Structure 1
Amino acid sequence: MIRDIFSQLKDSLEALVDERQGKVTLRTHKVKLPKLAPDTVEQLAALEVSHAIEA
């Protein structure tokens, strides 16, 4: 099955316009992201070295 991406994009934008005008309610999802620990200078240096070795 061939996807018509332009048609899908157009439909999505029309749905967004309708939602902004209060005609419909689009489904929304909330995502909880874990807090990341701050990196230390040593950890960042180790990443730099490992990326340099891989390249």
Structure 2
Amino acid sequence: MENVKTSPDAEQPHDSMVDEAKNFDAFIKAMVQVVEKYGRFVLQELDSVA
């Protein structure tokens, strides 16, 4: 591996990786909102049944 040269840009995150990270964060935030909303609904339903 001595002959392997690294590009100076190798340490920089690639644009698609940055976009993927932003998309993942947006997806996680949306899923958290869904779980919070329907989690409350389910808990209310369980309270009314009990």
Q: TM-score range by the shorter chain?
A: 0.3 to 0.5
Structure 1 length-normalised TM: 0.35
> Which structure carries more helix by proportion?
2
